[in-house]
Structure 1
Amino acid sequence: MMTGEQVSVVSLSHVADELEPSSTVDEIRYLHTLGPTGTNLESAAHLWFRRRGRADDGHVVLHTSLESAMESVPRTGEHALLACAVYPELHTLVFGNLHTCRMVDCFLWPTHEMVLAVPPDARAEPRTVATHPAPAGLVPTTSARQLVTSNAQAAIDCADGRADGCVTTVVAARAHGLRVVRSFGEVPMVFTVHQVREPRP
């Protein structure tokens, strides 16, 4: 008997098979996604290339937002955006670019461990917490939210003193020398691949 997670994976794989011929997906050599380095999306992009046997010739390109990526990505079929189901305004990105951008794949994969982190010498509950809009619900109710462009940027802002704490990935927290005060664990997440190309005749 399959677990709920296994059923989800099977269902998503079936949907992905129906979205676009594999030959079209096989054109993709560049995945554009959210940076700076340390985001869940960056990790998922590398995973996607590894699963397709393209760890050596697949390129992950990081941007400050998927919207800015959409503006600069060449429309050749070799380029795609990698998003996730909880990315803010994903529906606007999809429906606002139907003529050049198509969802061609999706997969279920857990995020990095999500954490609340503070500078190593912090002792009090953080008054301000830097967070991407997606996991903002993890900010303590006693703290003020300070919205930033990604989980990795939240860690950078905290380490640089622009916020007292941050909601980020454990990878980004460690990279910037932050102390984890609360772990929310890994979060099962749907990631989506959107191929970018000139409109078909």
Structure 2
Amino acid sequence: MLDHSRLTAIHTLGPTGTNCEAAAKHYAQAHGLDVQVVLHRTLEEGMVHVLQDPGAALLGCVVYPDLHGLVFPYLDRMTLADQFIFDTFPMVLAARSADAEIRLVGTHPAPRSLVPAQYEVRLVTSNAEAARLCAAGEVDACITTGVAARSHGLVVIEDNGPVPMGFTIHTHHAIARRAA
């Protein structure tokens, strides 16, 4: 169990518009928490900050590549204190225009299998980052969230819908308390 009253911040994957950001805000609201949601380029970077702040937690995603790397190296200080299921935003293939010629698709490693087989893949740090790179013309299309696609003015080519997803909360041992 988790002593929610001791949490002051939830660190997670950014930039703004990620499923992790939405899940962190949902978690805070569901538990009546007044915490800051802090976004990072990677969860590994977020963990660096969490380790330095005893009131902080890291929100991860069960499909995040190398999630194990955020658990086992920190067993002496951190614990996996909570987990929950939360639907992602709709996961989409998007491009700058409906008739865009697509060769290169930007995607986070987790939803990589949503990229149609005929396209080349460029791995990026988040779904929101994929949308930003597509809008900037650095990739022809992206696997991203519907929210990120809209915020970057992209056109949805294929909508895979929301995905029920598992999210994890990692905290310092002092915040986690075990059920008696």
TM-score (norm 2): 0.92
Matched, 1:71 2:58: no
Report the AA paired with residue 91 of structure 2. Answer: M
Residue in 2 that maps onto 1:28: 7
Matched, 1:45 2:24: yes
Moved over 4 A (4+): none
What is the CA distance between 1:93 and its match in structure 2? 1.3
User: Is the contact between residue 74 and residue 197 of structure 1 (CA under 8 Å) also seen in structure 2?
Assistant: no
Report the AA paired with residue 152 of structure 1. Answer: A
SS at match of 1:96: helix
2:59 equivalent among 51, 74, 82:
82
Cα separation, 1, equivalents of 2:23 and 2:119: 30
What is the CA distance between 1:27 and its match in structure 2? 1.1
Aligned residues with identical type, % of pairs:
49
Q: Deviations over 1:69-89 (max 9, x none)?
A: 112225443100000110110
SS at match of 2:47: helix
Q: Deviations over 1:158-195 (max 9, x none)?
A: 00000000000000000000000000010010111001
Q: Deviations over 1:18-50 (max 9, x none)?
A: xx3x4x233112000000000000000000010
Q: Deviations over 1:120-168 (max 9, x none)?
A: 2x51451000000000000010100100000000000000000000000
User: Is the contact between residue 34 and residue 41 of structure 1 (CA under 8 Å) also seen in structure 2?
Assistant: yes
User: Is the contact between residue 95 and residue 141 of structure 2 (CA under 8 Å) also seen in structure 1?
Assistant: yes
User: Which deviates more, 73-82 or 135-144?
Assistant: 73-82
User: Is the contact between residue 77 and residue 197 of structure 1 (CA under 8 Å) also seen in structure 2?
Assistant: no
Matches within 5 A, 1:83-102: 83-102=60-79
Cα separation, 2, equivalents of 1:124 and 1:73: 41
* Unmatched tracts of structure 1, length 5 or more: 1-19
Which of these two proteins has the greater Rg computed from alpha carbons?
1
Matches within 5 A, 1:49-60: 49-54=28-33, 57-60=34-37
CA RMSD after TM alignment:
1.4
Residue in 2 that maps onto 1:105: 82
Matched, 1:116 2:131: no
Give the aligned length. 174
TM-score (norm 1): 0.83
Report the AA paired with residue 105 of structure 1. Answer: D
Cα separation, 1, equivalents of 2:49 and 2:86: 27
Report the AA paired with residue 32 of structure 1. Answer: H
Residue in 2 that maps onto 1:131: 107
* Unmatched tracts of structure 2, length 5 or more: 175-180
Matched, 1:191 2:167: yes
SS at match of 1:43: helix
Q: Deviations over 1:88-115 (max 9, x none)?
A: 1001210011112211111111100000
User: Is the contact between residue 106 and residue 141 of structure 2 (CA under 8 Å) also seen in structure 1?
Assistant: yes
User: Which deviates more, 68-77 or 80-89?
Assistant: 68-77
User: Which deviates more, 91-100 or 130-139?
Assistant: 91-100
Residue in 2 that maps onto 1:6: none
